[in-house]
Amino acid sequence: MKLLKLLDEKFELWICISLMSCLTVVLGIQVFMRYVMSASLSWSEELARYMFVWLVYIGVSYGSKVMRHIKIDAGLYLFPKGIRRHVVIVGDLIFFVFALIIVYYSWGLVVRQYMFNQLSPAMQIPMWIVYAAPFVGFSLTALRQLQTIVYRIKHINDPFEDPAEQELKELKGDNE
């Protein structure tokens, strides 16, 4: 049970930290080889590009998990205070549907890449692995959005915290 709780809380974060660390090391080696040794590596830029793609899609899931995905808070102020929490839930539902649409279409893309058996130019890794990033990332995002929606519905009667005020509290360090 503790393992599931730990995975729920830290899974995307661990992957993002690992990818960013590896990305930094690979690019550092490439810079060293190019400017110090005067010899460029053929695989490093390709690997860095693919790790960055995976980092972005897993990062979308992490942003969704911490309820910080892209949204326009200013639009929220157009609604009366009493229904803002409902508007936020509707926005989460829309993002959930969007994530499911991306999962659906990206799965088709992964299957086609798998059937074509295309390999990357420098590293010769199957391209379906690269094309699986949106599928995996948005599958996790859909799961996280579902968790967010359930959380918001459970706390619908709690006092609504204005996103701008909440951000201001976080910047000041007032975590009550």
In a domain? residue 34: yes
pLDDT of residue 145: 94
In a domain? residue 45: yes
Q: Which two tokens stand for residue 24?
A: 């930094």
In a domain? residue 176: no
- Asked if pLDDT for residue 102 goes beyond 90, the answer is yes
Q: Which domain holds residue 7?
A: 2-163
Q: For the chain, what is the domain count? A: 1
Q: What is the pLDDT confidence band of residue 56, given thresholds at 50, 70 and 90?
A: very high
Task: Kindly list the distances between the CA atom of residue 117 and the CA atoms of 106, 120, 131, in Å, as whole numbers in the listed order.
Answer: 16, 10, 12
In a domain? residue 169: no
- Each residue of 122-163: pLDDT tens digit? 999 999 999 999 999 999 999 999 999 999 898 888 776 655
Percent of the chain surpassing pLDDT 90: 60
Greatest mean pLDDT among 8-12, 86-90, 136-140 lies in: 136-140
Q: Say which amino acid occupies 102.
A: I
In a domain? residue 168: no
In a domain? residue 175: no
pTM of the model: 0.84
- Neighbouring CB atoms inside 10 A of 51's CB total 20
**Rounded mean pLDDT, 107-127:** 94
In a domain? residue 53: yes
In a domain? residue 172: no
